[in-house]
Structure formats: C-alpha cells, structure tokens
Amino acid sequence: MSRVEALRALIKEHECDAYLITDSDGHYTFYSLSQEDRRLNWITECQAQCGLAIVTLNNKAFFQVPPNYRFLAKVEVNTDVWTLGDDIVQWINNQQLSLKRIAYDPRLTPLFIIEQFSALASSLYPIHSSNNWIDIISKKETSSEPSKLTPIWPLDEFRFAGQTSIEKDLQYEIRPYESFFAFLSTLKDQDVWLDERTSVIVLHHLSSTGVVRISRSPIQQMKEIKNSVELEGFRQCHFRDCAAVCQTFEWLQKSMENDALNVTELDVAKYLESRQREQVDFISIAFDTISASATNTALIEYSPFARKTKTLIARDLFYLDGGGNYLDGTTDMTRTLHFGQATQEQIQCYTLALKAILFIEMTGFPCDDTLTGCYIHSLLRAQFASINNSNEHISFGHGVSHGMGVVEGGIFISDSPSLATSTPIRPGMVIAIEPGIYFEGKWGIRLENVYEVIEDDQRLIHFIPLTLLPYSRPLIDVNLLSSEELKWINVYHQRCLQYVDGGTWMKQEIDLFL
C-alpha cells in the first residue's frame, strides 16, 4: 500500500472526505525543520520544505508548491498521484469537489491557512494533536533523548543587569512548556492578540469571551529590527563564514584540476560544513546546504543529501548556497561558478543577476511604506527583461534571524501578495536578496548576498552587503556593465580583501578583475 493509499484508509476510517498536510511544526517553523517534522516531504516524497497538500478520499491529491520549489516538485513528485499547482482552494473549487469534512492537525496548522478555507462549503475537522495521521502511517518515533542546549552567553551570576528576574519585576511568569494549553483556558473574559501564524490549537484552548485579535505579531516586528550588538555580530560572523566558503572554493578549484578525484555535489556540501565547524562560535549549518551542478542547478532548492548526487564536471555550471548559525549571527550566501567555458547565454544571465544585485546596492530608496519585498522583487525582475520569456525568472529574498532560523518570516521578497511582501523595509533589518534565473531541465544561475539595511542623513535607505565573496569574472560580460558598476565591484572586492581571510582563492578571483 502506498503512502497516499494508507492515508486514505485513515480518512475513510474517521468518516472524513480529505486530510490537510501543512509544512510547519507547532511553532510555525516552516524551513529547516527537524526530520520528524517533515511530514509534507514524507507524504509527497519530495524534498520541498514549503507548501501545502490535501489528500481526498476520492482518489485525488493536490500539492500547492511555492515557485522556488516548482521545478523540483516536477522532477520528484509522482504526478499520477499528485496534481501540482499554486492554489489549493481554487483547485478544490475547479474540481467541484464535495469535501464536507476536511481533517487537519490543529497543532501544525496556522490560523491563516484555516482562513483560506473559510470560503469553502466544508467543515474543518481538527484531529487530536497526539494522533497525527502522517505520524501514524509513517510509524515515526520521537527520540526520548534530551535536547542539547547551546548557551548564548556565559551564565555568570548577575553578569548583566545585576538584578534577579524577581527584582526586575517585568510582569511575566515562567511556566513549564507542558502547562501552556491549560494556562490558556484560564484567560476568561480577556482580549487576546494572536499572530496569524499561530497554531489553530491555541485558539481552541482559549475560553475567552473577549475579543481575539488575529494579526501580525508585534514581537515579530520588533525582532526584525536588530540592535547594534546584533548587527555587529552579523558583520563578524559573515567575515568568518565567508572565509570558510573561500577555503571550500580553493579546495574545489584544486580538486577540479585533478580529474581523478571525482568530486560530487555532496562532497562539496560536506567540505563546506567541515570548514564552517572550524570557525569561532559555530553552532550549526543554517539549512541543508544546496550544492548543485549541471541540470540540478535548475531545481533552485535542490539538496544533494536527499537525492543521488552528481559528480562535478568542468563543462557544467555549479552553485553553492550555504549558511551557518553562529553565536553572534546567521549567514546565507550563494555563488555560481564555472570551471570550464560557459556559454554566452550563461554569461549573459550571470551578468544580469549581478546587475540586479548592483542596482539594489547602488540605489538610495526613500524611507517610506512603498519600499517592500514586492517592490524589490519588481526591480530585480526588471533586470532580466531582455531574456526570452520561455525561462523561469525567480528572484526572492527573506529576512534573516540572529543566530536562529535563517528565514525570518516577517519579510519576504516575492511577487506573491502577502503580509510579508507588503511589510515596509526599515533600517536595522537584515535581509537576504537572491536574484536568479532558471531553465527547466537545463541549468540555473543564482547570486545571493545578505544585507544590513541602513538609513542615511537624507532619510534614504541603503542595502550594505554583509556577504563578502568575490564574483566570478569568467561569467561576466563587462560590455553589459557601466563604468560605475565596475567601480562598485572593485570597491566591494577591496572590502572582501580587507575583512575576510579568503586565502589564495579570493585574491586570485579578484585579480582577474584588474
């Protein structure tokens, strides 16, 4: 019995019409999930970490796939079982499905997902959270081993404020995690504010007869603006992480010159992690490293850990997208390389991706509500206007957390309308911007830098790169760059040399521009 058929048996047993599968855990960690929480991956048999799926009793199943996972899903998902698309509610309506009872796990389903289904003539049926149906059919077991804790700072007594938590009188109580839902039931006749990404189960446990306000969390908004200590930490950890990337590229360059080594995509990902682990204050990699060559570069979010890995060949494009969590910050970068002779089309696309990055860096933006992720996306997209429309342009970006999740959900760069893409970009934010272009079944190119957002004396917003890694001169058509852009690149490369211990590889790459 297939996984989907096993799920349908449970749907029938519980007298439901469908089952909804989300992409998050109980805290809306939808990216870089633990293996036991990757239920969407398991049921779709696809490594896409984001999306939404529904399996119906009447032999239909739909996988709502974000744009950056679309090509990957086409390769990995069994389309005899699953229909792929970008709007699950619209699909239900178009299919004229009579889904009177849709089951879902309220612990793993955020409020905004339920809101999307409110227009359907269906009853959403919350199952008991300890009996997730995907867990039942996959027979997953949660490890009983205690979690390993990493202290963020030395726990010296009275090291910081010189006061105990009681003396500070901050008007909060610390309770055991297990008692959280019982505590919610005590909030009678009180108004409650919930973030739209809060799990539905929280709403179920509120017995309040007051107002429940559902909107963007003020805590998320405060978290997006980093303080001076966090920003300095971001700068320092990028210096170290970029050094690890340079060490990896130097090793890779030498390995590619020795054909007998047969370096694979997985080898590169593992080597990068080994170099990152040597850096001061390293905690973990920020996500599964994307090390892709040849046709895998077109898959955008490909991971060599989940599929049969390719051996790198000099005639193919290669890109490395990696990051690390450090005690003082989080990193995320992508660089595309070619160890042979790139085609003119590849050179053109790389140069346009570089121009997209340069345009953002060289522009001063008014500090107002028009500067959003959706607007930035339109500027990135405009740089690729000269390319034939038969390809897929996918530029995106995201906020970056400090030493935690690499994707901070409050800010996104995308053309998909949402709260995250319409939130104004403000000074103090740290944002990853990654323009790219991908030809399905052929190849793709991406560049990515993390930026500190600052405001100057004229109230103009600027994006200052924290990522300090050379660009690839063999992939650049200088005839497409202005003299100002070339000067900007040279100044950027001088910063790379000044702050990053990039070794021989960095110096050689930068010397190619002289």
Q: pLDDT tens digit string along 363-394? A: 999 999 999 999 999 999 999 988 876 667 77
Total Cβ atoms within 10 A of residue 420 = 22
- Confidence at 228, pLDDT banded by 50, 70, 90: very high
Residue ranges of alpha helices (H) inside 258-315 are 265-277
Q: What is the mean pLDDT of residues 501-507?
A: 98
Most confidently predicted of 130-134, 188-192, 304-308, 472-476:
472-476
* Cα gap 491→498, rounded to integer Å: 11
Mean pLDDT calculated for residue range 279-305? 94
The domain 3-138 is classified under which CATH number: 3.40.50.2000, 3.90.1150.10, 3.40.50.970, 3.40.350.10?
A: 3.40.350.10
Bridge-based pairing of strands 449-455 and 430-434 is: antiparallel
pLDDT value of position 209: 65
What b-and-e string marks burial along 374-389, b requiring 16 or more CB atoms within 10 Å of the CB?
bbbbebbbebbeeeee
Q: Are 343 and 316 in contact (CB under 8 A)?
A: no
- Exposed / middle / buried, residue 493 (Cβ in 10 Å: 0-12, 13-18, 19+): buried
Where does residue 237 rank: exposed (0-12), middle (13-18), buried (19+ CB within 10 A)? buried
Q: What is the pLDDT of residue 145?
A: 55
Q: Determine the Cα–Cα distance for residues 209 and 144; give it in Å rounded to an integer.
A: 38
Structure confidence at residue 10 (pLDDT): 95
How many other C-beta atoms lie within 10 A of the C-beta of residue 483?
8
Say what the pLDDT of residue 221 is.
Answer: 87
The DSSP letter of residue 448 is B
- What tokens appear for 226 in the block? 């980093």
Selected residue with higher pLDDT from 17 and 139: 17
Which of the two residues, 75 and 162, has the higher pLDDT score?
75
493 pLDDT exceeds 80?
Answer: yes
Find the mean pLDDT for residues 139-156: 55
CA atoms within 13 A on the CB side of 500: 30
Quick one: pLDDT band at residue 158, thresholds 50, 70, 90? very low
Q: Once rounded to an integer, what is the mean pLDDT over residues 276-301?
A: 96
For residue 144, the model assigns a pLDDT of 46
pLDDT beyond 80 at 164 = no
Alpha-carbon span 88 to 112, nearest angstrom: 14
Q: Identify the H or E element spanning 483.
A: helix 483-499
pLDDT at 391: 66
- pLDDT of 162 strictly over 70: no
pTM for this entry: 0.91
Render pLDDT for 54-109 as a digit per residue (tens, 0 to 9): 999 998 999 999 988 999 999 999 999 999 999 999 999 999 998 999 999 999 99
CA dist., res. 335 & res. 475, Å (int): 11
Phi-psi category of 329—alpha, beta or left, where left has phi over 0 and alpha has psi -120 to 50?
left
Q: What are the residues whose beta carbons fall under 8 Å from the beta carbon of 298, sequence distance 6 or more?
A: 71, 438, 439, 440, 441, 442, 443, 444
Q: Does domain 224-511 have CATH number 3.90.230.10?
A: yes
Indicate if the pLDDT at residue 118 is higher than 90: no
477 alpha carbon, distance to own chain's centre: 30
- Lowest mean pLDDT across 137-141, 246-250, 297-301, 419-423: 137-141
For 83-143, give the DSSP string: EEES-HHHHHHHTT---SEEEE-TTT-BHHHHHHTTTSS-EEEEPPGGG-HHHHHHT----
Is the pLDDT assigned to residue 501 strictly greater than 90?
yes
Structure tokens at 99: 């889904």
β-pairing, 52-56 with 18-21? antiparallel
Averaged pLDDT, 418-429: 94
Confidence of residue 48 (pLDDT cuts 50, 70, 90): confident
Tell me which residue has tokens 């030498």: 254
Question: What single-letter amino acid sits at 390?
Answer: S
- In angstroms, rounded to a whole number, what is the distance separating the alpha carbons of residues 478 and 348? 10
Kindly report which listed range (4-8, 147-151, 318-322, 432-436) carries the lowest average pLDDT score: 147-151
Written as one letter, the residue type at 502 is G
- Cα dihedral value 466, 454, 409, 198, nearest 10: 140
Please give the pLDDT value at position 390.
60
In angstroms, rounded to a whole number, what is the distance separating the alpha carbons of residues 111 and 434? 29
Q: How are beta strands 443-446 and 192-195 bridged, if at all?
A: unpaired
CA dist 330 and 452 (Å) reads: 12
Q: What is the rounded distance in angstroms from the CA atom of residue 212 to the CA atom of residue 192?
A: 5
Assign 20 to helix, strand or coil: strand
- Give the per-residue pLDDT at 174: 81
Mean residue pLDDT across the chain: 91
Residue ranges covered by each domain of the chain = 3-138, 176-217, 224-511
Nearest to 147 by CA among 36, 251, 226: 36
pLDDT bin (cut points 50, 70, 90) of residue 227 is very high
pLDDT digits (tens, 9 = 90+) for 230-277: 999 999 999 999 999 999 999 999 999 987 689 999 999 999 999 999
- Whole-number pLDDT of residue 49: 82
417 within 8 A of 398, measured Cβ to Cβ = no
Residues 139-150: what's their mean pLDDT?
55
> For tokens 């190119």, what's the residue?
445
Q: Would you place residue 142 in the very low, low, confident or very high pLDDT band (cuts 50, 70, 90)?
A: very low
Q: How confident is the model at residue 445 (pLDDT cuts 50, 70, 90)?
A: very high
